[in-house]
Amino acid sequence: MSDEIEQLIHSHTGVVVVQITEPVLETDQPMDWVATEIRQWRSDASVVQVVLSLHREWALRYRVHGSPCTLVFRHGELCLRVKGRFGRERLRAALERAGLLDLS
C-alpha cells in the first residue's frame, strides 16, 4: 500500500491529506470529521487513512515518529504536517498558514 500512497500523492492534481493513526491506542480515535471538513474547504482533496504500524517505513520518510499525525501534500510535495489531535479551528489555521485555503 505504501507504493499506492506515493502514487496517489504524486499523481493527484489537488491536495492529498494523509491521516496517520494507530488504532490500538486509546488516543487515536477516528478523526473522520477531518475528511468532511477538508472536502468542504477544498473540493479537490483526497483523504487517505494510514495505520502507522503497517507503514512505519513510509511514515519515517516524512519524519512521522508517532500518531496521530496529519500530512498534507500538494503537487507531490509535503506542504503541511500537523502532529497530535486537533480541532476544526487548528486545522483551518494550519491550512491557511500553508496557503491551502483560499478565503477570498
pLDDT band at 104 (very low <50, low <70, confident <90, very high): very low
| 84 belongs to a structural domain | yes
- Say what the pLDDT of residue 3 is: 87
Report the percentage of the chain scoring pLDDT > 70. 89
For residue range 44-86, list pLDDT tens digits in order: 888 888 999 999 999 999 999 888 899 999 999 999 998 888 8
Angle made by CA atoms 11, 60, 47, in degrees to the nearest 5: 40
| 40 belongs to a structural domain | yes
| 39 belongs to a structural domain | yes
- Which CATH number goes with the domain that contains 59? 3.40.30.10
Report the percentage of the chain scoring pLDDT > 90. 28
Give the domain extent around 11. 2-95
The three cell numbers of residue 57 are: 517505513
Domain count, the chain: 1
| 103 belongs to a structural domain | no
- Say what the pLDDT of residue 26 is: 52
| 100 belongs to a structural domain | no
pTM reported for the whole predicted model = 0.83
